[in-house]
Amino acid sequence: MTTAASVPSPTPAEPASAALHPPASTGAADWLLVLLPVIIWGASFLFIAEGLRAVGPAGVTLVRILVGFVTLSLVPSARRPVAASDRWWVALLGVLWMAFPLSMFPFAEQRVSSAITGMLNAAVPLFAAIVAAVLARRLPSRGVAVGLAVGLTGAALMAWPTMHEGRSSVDGVLLILAALVSYGFAINLARPLQQRNGALPVIWRAQAAALVLTAPLGFHDLARAHWATGPVLALLALGVLGTGVAFVLITIAAGRVGSTRASATAFLIPPVALVLGVAVRGEHVAALSVLGAAVCVAGAWLMNRKRAP
């Protein structure tokens, strides 16, 4: 949600190939499978900030995608073929879900805190719903519209304090919003692709496309990097966990507890990012932004409840 990723995130998209309805009983191990990706994706914004201490933003993006791609390559199910007719759509997904938004977050975190970046990711479901309504040329239901209104109000409250911190902070928020819009399109594109081909084969190939696209600028930043142990470990964690293992875990979890429950836990990503940003990096977050994050999550939850089967 990434990114994490994403939903993202980081931002995670719902593994649409998983069953929509959970089994009759859900054990502690099942919920652990759901919560671990949430913690990983919430920590991804901290890992980005730490990685920026050693390498430029394009280098951060390249390393996370490269390491994530290599990690998923070790999972046999990720290497299953996809339909030939879907390959170009998967490549487009590599732009919308991986290359573009994962490039925006490091640039944004040069201007705003990791906590704010993570909290604003609470708006991913809102943008996904808006894009879905536009593509369908159909207004959302009254309940979903209420959730959207509440959620967007929360997003505005989160961003408002940064508007008074100078042009650089405003630019950072705009970069995050651009990434969230991209995620909105990506989630709507990913669902049918994953239904036809499975979640991991689509994600793995999207990462391959993103790897090609981010390599030129990424290698330029890597050549100018000043490596240290902390940033290296953060980048490895960002790639192995946030862009690799978390996707595997959430896919397994969706099959065990249902994709609706699994994706709903993405609402926990903003508080994880907030706590880590404040506790580990000592970041200052305005009380209004924290309130806005809670309002945004509430709106996304209301909307998800109205849309759930």
CB atoms within 10 A of CB 287: 8
Residue 240 to residue 5: CA distance in whole angstroms: 12
**Among residues 10, 15, 34, 248, which one has the least CA distance to residue 119?**
10
Residue 175 to residue 245: CA distance in whole angstroms: 26
pTM of the shown model: 0.88
**pLDDT 10s digit of each residue in the chain, 309 long?**
544 333 333 333 333 333 334 454 556 777 788 889 889 999 999 999 999 999 999 999 999 999 999 999 999 999 999 999 999 999 999 999 999 999 999 999 999 999 999 999 888 888 888 898 888 888 888 888 888 899 889 889 998 888 777 778 899 999 999 999 999 999 999 989 999 999 999 999 999 999 999 999 999 999 999 999 999 999 999 999 999 999 998 888 877 776 666 666 677 888 999 999 999 999 999 999 999 989 988 888 887 776 554
Residue 252 to residue 261: CA distance in whole angstroms: 12
Residue 110 to residue 55: CA distance in whole angstroms: 12
